[in-house]
């Protein structure tokens, strides 16, 4: 039995599999970020927080696409919006990587105060004191790396891959193309 790579690619593009895989990837990325933050104490900088936004939005897109999976136009739209969001995230991750590597500076400011959950109250003075006493997290310092690459570095190809997969799934759904029959 000969297994064709193109047949495997076709299988990963049969609806609703791409929607479920993308949803799992988006949720998994957010879960990893929150686990790093709350489970391992890695405080995020402002750029880290911004990088979560396209993933959260894409979760919403995939939930809508799954709910409306009988409507190809809606699914294609959600996949394309997800592709755009992930492409934007890849750009943001590349920018963040450049800030970490001191290729350029962040013109928006590079630190966000980190206040532990539960330490704030509705008292403005207590909140002000908590913010003033808390060390700011800088986005130009790498707090964690794997094989010499930071989380922002790893996010660039990850987000680009998710963007490409989203766009390819939309293309296949729109055209009905099968790669194994090309």
38 DSSP 8-state letter: I
pLDDT digits (tens, 9 = 90+) for 80-138: 999 999 999 999 999 888 888 778 777 666 655 444 445 545 676 765 665 555 555 77
Handedness of CA 36, 42, 48, 52 (dihedral sign): positive
Domain ranges within the chain, ordered by starting residue: 5-106+139-181
pLDDT digits (tens, 9 = 90+) for 27-63: 999 999 999 889 988 888 888 888 999 999 999 999 9
Contact 76, 173 (CB under 8 A): yes
Q: Is 73 helix (H, G, I), strand (E, B) or coil?
A: helix
Q: Name the pTM for this structure.
A: 0.78
147 DSSP 8-state letter: T
179 DSSP 8-state letter: G
Query: Which CATH topology does 5-106+139-181 take?
Result: Bromodomain-like (1.20.1550)
């Amino acid at each position: 039995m000969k297994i064709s790579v193109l047949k495997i690619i076709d299988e990963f593009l049969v609806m609703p599999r791409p929607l479920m895989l993308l949803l799992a990837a988006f949720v998994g990325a957010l879960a990893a970020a929150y686990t790093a933050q709350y489970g391992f104490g890695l405080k995020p900088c402002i750029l880290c927080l911004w990088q979560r936004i396209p993933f959260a939005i894409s979760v919403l897109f995939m939930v809508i696409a799954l709910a409306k999976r009988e409507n190809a136009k809606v699914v294609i739209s959600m996949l394309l919006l997800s592709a755009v969001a992930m492409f934007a995230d890849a750009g943001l991750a590349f920018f963040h990587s450049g800030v970490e590597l001191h290729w350029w500076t962040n013109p928006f400011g590079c630190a966000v105060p980190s206040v532990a959950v539960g330490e704030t109250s509705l008292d403005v003075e207590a909140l002000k004191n908590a913010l003033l006493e808390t060390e700011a997290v800088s986005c130009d310092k790498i707090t964690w790396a794997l094989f010499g690459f930071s989380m922002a570095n790893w996010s660039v190809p990850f987000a680009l891959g998710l963007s490409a997969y989203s766009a390819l799934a939309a293309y296949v759904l729109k055209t009905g193309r099968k790669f194994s029959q090309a």
